[in-house]
């Protein structure tokens, strides 16, 4: 009787977002694929790792328990799926630093979780293009007007009020990069109108060479201007035109489309301020963007294979894996969460990782301290965990399936990248084989003793390795003795660039890494190869 009730309950609705890509239709018989989906959803990763280590004991006890009930004949189907359950469950264990709206979850070993709070004086820049002529007042007492490079001064921890004439543009936490996105503080209308206002009041009408607002123009800006008004009518308002006349500006008011297109042109360049990293002892992700407006980027991922997308909808095919991506990126859209960047890679070995497959709602922005990658995802259904067996198979209580008419709850999920640590006289930081190129073999030494090579070329020196190198990444542990200039690499967790790089070295083979007196270059001596000069590209 219990068995019949179980089957009927599972069969009376249709499942959504099936783990293996299958749906159970109305009145259909129970499917092992449906059960797999239900059993692993939201499994606690720490608990799951424990269960893997204890799986033989658990299976024995589980069979004994099931024999006491009348469900024993279902065991063979479940047992065949256990390896897949463990694999998918482990792939769902995310080690990055992430935040969701109203909730924060961090890993103790993640770089951004261990950063000390910054204190003391700091410098920031106000950018649509760099904007000069904007008054600012920080809560620490520092104040002034942004200069021709858009620069302002503050102390870490300050709140800063930005004003144009008597109009407050925003009152926000101080950061190294401030754009209209930060000033708008989530208000879409204000964001669009700020772009039109700042670009229209530029002295020469050409925002591509910077935005300069004169004292005469600034003095004409009154607090009565409504930045929250409809963007369709803001550009045509009499207030804006009268300000331009008072400032002696002869150019036309920028249309919403013109202002939007200019801001999009700044989206990729904003990320070139730093080399961005998210890492812990098991995984790493690195993004480097060219600072010459070429829009070139290099991205490396060292991570487990994953068959699940951002909403944890999983299939039988890997969609994320360790690898490298090199190409050109464009900002194609923006909103109050940041820019939508789309990469056009010429090298792409990390599948849907990186910028090549951003999805419709992924956005990127930076405040100069961090790169914030956000997406709108489906909120995972919470469930009770009443027993070890129930936790593993999710059958301790009747399973509530989603109604096909149910509207899925959404949330904003953020992954934060920090700027790479850099020891100006030591090995920690980022080193490139070519000082002027983005498409070059790049070495990253993290302060936690982890090493990553991001290799978009797969180039090798030795003739016997000419055909076995390929683009990819390496992720390993390292030790470095500055006194002897000896580098040891060991325990390669990921190695996807074939025989290129360092994975072919024996664990006990030291590599020479002699850092110059100014710390800007290093001589790399790898066994069996000619010496190579490396260039520090982190600052």
Does position 96 have pLDDT exceeding 50, yes or no? no
**Nearest-angstrom CA–CA distance, 373 and 339:** 10
Tell me what pLDDT residue 357 has.
86
- Least confident piece of the model among 12-16, 140-144, 459-463: 12-16
Tell me what pLDDT residue 462 has.
81
- Residues 303 and 257 both lie in one domain: no
Q: Which of 418, 446, 471 is the last residue of a domain?
A: 418
Would you say 11 and 38 are in contact if contact means Cβ atoms under 8 Å apart?
Answer: no
Does position 417 have pLDDT exceeding 50, yes or no? yes
Q: Model confidence at 74, in pLDDT bands (50, 70, 90)? A: very low
Sequential DSSP letters for 349-411: -SBT-TTSS--TT-EEEE-SSEEEEEEEEEPPPP----SHHHHHHS-SSPPPPPPTTPPPPEE
What is the average pLDDT score of the chain? 80
Q: Model confidence at 509, in pLDDT bands (50, 70, 90)? A: confident
The token duo for 369 is 């301290």
- Residues 254 and 165 both lie in one domain: yes
Does position 224 have pLDDT exceeding 80, yes or no? yes
Q: Model confidence at 386, in pLDDT bands (50, 70, 90)? A: low
Q: Model confidence at 463, in pLDDT bands (50, 70, 90)? A: confident
Q: Which of 265, 282, 313 is the last residue of a domain?
A: 265
Domains in the chain: how many in total? 4
Mean pLDDT of 91-117: 41
- Residues 152 and 215 both lie in one domain: yes
Tell me what pLDDT residue 394 has.
56
- Residues 242 and 280 both lie in one domain: no
| pTM of the predicted model as reported, rounded to 2 decimal places | 0.75
| CA proximity to 433, closest of 465, 455, 404, 450 | 455
**Nearest-angstrom CA–CA distance, 344 and 350:** 14
Q: Model confidence at 236, in pLDDT bands (50, 70, 90)? A: confident
**Nearest-angstrom CA–CA distance, 194 and 164:** 11
Tell me what pLDDT residue 22 has.
31
Which has more pLDDT, 255 or 113? 255
Run of H or E residues at 416: strand 410-419
- Residues 139 and 57 both lie in one domain: no
Write out the residue range of the structural domain in which residue 292 sits. 271-378+413-418
Which has more pLDDT, 223 or 58? 223
Sequential DSSP letters for 330-345: EEEEEETTEEEEEEEE
Does position 111 have pLDDT exceeding 80, yes or no? no
Q: Model confidence at 144, in pLDDT bands (50, 70, 90)? A: very high
The token duo for 336 is 């109050």
Tell me what pLDDT residue 234 has.
92
Would you say 353 and 323 are in contact if contact means Cβ atoms under 8 Å apart?
Answer: yes
Tell me what pLDDT residue 80 has.
31
- Least confident piece of the model among 327-331, 405-409, 426-430: 405-409
Mean pLDDT of 83-89: 29
- Residues 132 and 257 both lie in one domain: yes
- Residues 169 and 76 both lie in one domain: no
Asked, for residue 502, whether it belongs to a domain, the answer is yes
Asked, for residue 402, whether it belongs to a domain, the answer is no
**Which residues touch 262 (CB under 8 Å, ≥6 apart)?**
128, 129, 195, 199, 207, 208, 254
Residues of the chain with pLDDT > 70: what percent? 73
The token duo for 488 is 């040891």
- Of the ranges 91-105, 113-127, 359-373, which is most confident? 359-373
Asked, for residue 6, whether it belongs to a domain, the answer is yes
Does position 314 have pLDDT exceeding 90, yes or no? no
- Least confident piece of the model among 116-125, 270-279, 373-382, 440-449: 373-382
- Residues 151 and 249 both lie in one domain: yes
Does position 168 have pLDDT exceeding 80, yes or no? yes
Mean pLDDT of 263-289: 96
- Residues 255 and 315 both lie in one domain: no
Does position 26 have pLDDT exceeding 90, yes or no? no
- The CB-side HSE value for 78 (13 A sphere, CA atoms) comes to 18
- Residues 249 and 136 both lie in one domain: yes
Tell me what pLDDT residue 531 has.
96
- Residues 255 and 305 both lie in one domain: no
Mean pLDDT of 52-71: 42
- Residues 144 and 251 both lie in one domain: yes
């Amino acid at each position: 009787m219990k068995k019949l009730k179980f089957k009927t309950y599972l069969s009376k609705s249709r499942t959504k977002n099936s783990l293996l890509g299958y749906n159970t239709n109305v009145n259909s018989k129970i499917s092992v694929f449906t059960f797999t989906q239900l059993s692993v959803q939201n499994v606690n990763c720490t608990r799951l790792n424990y269960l893997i280590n204890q799986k033989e004991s658990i299976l024995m006890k589980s069979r004994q328990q099931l024999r006491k009930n009348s469900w024993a004949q279902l065991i063979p189907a479940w047992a065949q799926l256990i390896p897949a359950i463990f694999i998918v469950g482990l792939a769902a264990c995310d080690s990055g630093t992430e935040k969701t709206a109203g909730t924060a979850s961090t890993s103790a070993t993640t770089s951004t979780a261990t950063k000390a709070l910054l204190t003391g004086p700091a410098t920031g820049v106000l950018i649509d293009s760099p904007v000069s002529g904007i008054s600012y007042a920080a809560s620490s007492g520092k104040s002034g007007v942004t200069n021709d490079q858009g620069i302002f001064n503050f102390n870490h921890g300050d709140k800063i009020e930005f004003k144009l004439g008597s109009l407050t543009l925003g009152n926000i936490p101080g950061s190294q990069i401030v754009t209209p996105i930060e000033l708008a503080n989530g208000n879409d209308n204000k964001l669009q109108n700020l772009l039109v206002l700042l670009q229209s009041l530029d002295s020469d009408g050409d925002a591509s060479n910077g935005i300069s607002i004169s004292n005469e123009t600034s003095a004409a800006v009154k607090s009565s201007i409504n930045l929250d008004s409809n963007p369709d009518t803001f550009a045509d308002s009499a207030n804006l035109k009268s300000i331009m006349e008072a400032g002696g500006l002869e150019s036309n008011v920028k249309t919403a489309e013109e202002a939007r297109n200019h801001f999009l042109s700044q989206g990729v360049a904003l990320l070139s301020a730093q080399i961005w990293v998210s890492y812990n002892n098991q995984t790493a992700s690195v993004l480097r963007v060219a600072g010459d407006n070429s829009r070139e980027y290099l991205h490396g991922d060292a991570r487990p294979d994953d068959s699940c997308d951002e909403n944890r909808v999983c299939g039988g095919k890997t969609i994320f894996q360790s690898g490298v991506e090199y190409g050109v990126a464009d900002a194609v859209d923006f909103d109050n969460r940041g820019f939508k960047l789309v990469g056009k890679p010429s090298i792409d070995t990390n599948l849907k990782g990186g910028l090549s497959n951003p999805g419709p709602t992924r956005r990127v922005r930076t405040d100069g301290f961090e790169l914030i990658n956000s997406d709108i995802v489906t909120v995972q259904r919470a469930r009770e965990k009443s027993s070890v067996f129930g936790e593993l198979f999710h059958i301790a209580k009747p399973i509530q399936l989603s109604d096909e008419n149910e509207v899925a709850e959404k949330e904003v999920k953020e992954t934060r990248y920090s700027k790479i640590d850099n020891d100006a006289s030591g090995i920690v930081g980022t080193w490139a084989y070519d000082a002027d190129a983005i498409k070059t073999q790049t070495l990253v030494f993290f302060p936690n003793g982890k090493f990553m090579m991001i290799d978009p070329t797969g180039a090798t020196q030795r003739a016997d390795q000419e055909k076995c190198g390929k683009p990819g990444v390496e992720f390993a542990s390292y030790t470095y003795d500055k006194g002897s200039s000896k580098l040891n690499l060991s325990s390669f967790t990921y190695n996807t660039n074939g025989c290129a790089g360092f994975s072919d070295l024996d664990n006990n083979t030291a590599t020479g890494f002699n850092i110059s007196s100014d710390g800007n270059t290093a001589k790399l001596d790898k066994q069996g190869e000619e010496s190579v000069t490396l260039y520090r590209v982190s600052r």
